[in-house]
Amino acid sequence: MLRLFTALALPPDIAETLTRRQTGLPGAAWRPVEALHITLSFYGELTRQQADDLDGELSRAGGRGPLTLSLSGVGAFGDGHRAHAVWAGVAPNDALHQLAARCEAAGRRAGLNPPRRTYHPHVTLAYLKGDARPDRVGAWVQGHNLLQSPPFRLDHFGLWSSVTGPHGGTYRLEQEYPL
């Protein structure tokens, strides 16, 4: 079984600038630079045949031209006093939302049932352990909430596999598709 998702890899210079913000939050398991990406759609555990079917559908999801994106702001996922991740946001971009919708639709055409969620494009910077105090998470968010990256251009997206470990997932690019 393969645990698969589609994502946009960040350009190295953008990813490197994010790593400089990965400090000052006790209880944060910071993601390594090679794990920083913008998820488009998550598919879950698939057989090799399902992955092949998905690959065929994803090959038709792009083809509308490169994306120009920028990062804007930071935040935390979780409810109330139980944040479980901190992230960098992606500035609003209709073409990005359309690509994410096409990736989800490709999964459905391949016979999968990807979770239906409101798409919130972001880059996960850290997963938070139980000892991450809410006041420290709030202070970190407040201290970095003016994050603004220069625009960056992406001309492909990828199908990635993930192996979950104690410090988050380890990712491997399985296939690339042109935008």
Cα gap 66→92, rounded to integer Å: 16
Cα gap 173→10, rounded to integer Å: 13
Per-residue confidence (pLDDT) for residue 122, from 0 to 100: 98
Per-residue confidence (pLDDT) for residue 167, from 0 to 100: 63
In angstroms and rounded to an integer, the radius of gyration of the C-alpha atoms of the chain is 16
Judge residue 36's burial from the number of C-beta atoms within 10 Å of its C-beta, 0-12 exposed, 13-18 middle, 19 or more buried.
buried
| Mean pLDDT of the residues in the chain | 93
Cα gap 27→25, rounded to integer Å: 6
- H or E element, residue 83: strand 82-90
Cα gap 69→75, rounded to integer Å: 18
Strand partners, 66: none
Sheet holding 71-79, edge to edge: 28-30, 122-128, 82-90, 71-79
Tokens 């003016």 correspond to what residue? 146
Please check whether residue 137 is in contact with residue 76, taking contact to mean a CB–CB distance below 8 angstroms: yes
Strand partners, 46: 2
Q: pTM for this one? A: 0.93
Cα gap 46→14, rounded to integer Å: 31
Taking residues 161-171, report their average pLDDT.
80
Q: What is the CATH number that goes with domain 2-178?
A: 3.90.1140.10
Per-residue confidence (pLDDT) for residue 117, from 0 to 100: 83
Q: Where are the domains of the chain?
A: 2-178
pLDDT digits (tens, 9 = 90+) for 18-72: 999 999 999 999 999 999 999 999 999 999 999 999 999 999 998 899 999 999 9
